Amino acid sequence: MPKMPLALGGLVGLLTTATPALLHVGLGLPDVAVLSRVAAVAVALGAGFVLDDPAARTTVAVPVSRAAQRAVRAVPVLVLGTAVWAVAAAVARTTLPQDARPLFPWGGLAAEAAALVALSLALAAVGLRFTEGERGSLVAAPGILLLVITVALLPEGAALFLPPGHPSWAAVHRVWTGLLTAALAGGVLLAGGADSARLTGTRTRR
């Protein structure tokens, strides 16, 4: 499992939220939410590399399904990635005034972070299908960046990145929960499918 990109993503996320805290910069709730989201994107980008397997074409067959092998990689990453994000968010929360800290929307922001990590893993599973199981990150990294940029540019009426306390906060985070569920389900289905490039090669040899 390529661990370095995930570690770097977590480090970038932690540094992003720790810098204002170390400099004793006081921030408002909307700014802290933005920092927490930047940390989530960094972790999600790192997660997109964990399914990469450069030796996939030369690995000896083992009596374990492809889905099981990839699940062993993906599930810990989803848990670890969300945990790293939680630490980064907790650091960001320290920049809030004491009376504002109880207002930090843990549940909603955690749903966003988990959904982004799950979407990154699902995109990586798509990439594996077209690179003989080797480089899912070729789809995951640009895919998650494009997704985040698109979401950030949505008009106010359709925005998914809302400031805490927004009237549509609860409704939008039902959407994030739906995205998380869809990403998990899609990732499971994609992880178990045959890699297109490998399948094509097999047919050609026949």
**What pLDDT shows up at residue 84?**
93
- CA distances in angstroms from 171 to 148, 159, 160, 175, 185, listed in the order given: 19, 11, 10, 7, 21
Q: In three state form, how does the secondary structure of the chain look?
A: CCCHHHHHHHHHHHHHHHHHHHCCCCCCHHHHHHHHHHHHHHHHHHHCCCCCCCCCCCCCCCCCCHHHHHHHHHHHHHHHHHHHHHHHHHHHHCCCCHHHHHHCCHHHHHHHHHHHHHHHHHHHHHHHHCCCCCCCHHHHHHHHHHHHHHHHCCCHHHCCCCCCCCCCHHHHHHHHHHHHHHHHHHHHHHHHCCCHHHHHHHHHHC
**What pLDDT shows up at residue 53?**
77
Residue 190 CB partners (closer than 8 Å, separation 6+): 122, 125, 126, 128, 129
The residue type found at 41 is V
pLDDT in tens, 44-76: 999 999 888 776 655 545 555 666 677 777 788
* Spans of the chain, pLDDT less than 70: 1-2, 55-68, 191-206
Name the phi and psi angles at 134, rounded to 5. -100, -50
- CA distances in angstroms from 100 to 40, 123, 132, 170, listed in the order given: 21, 36, 50, 19
**What pLDDT shows up at residue 194?**
52
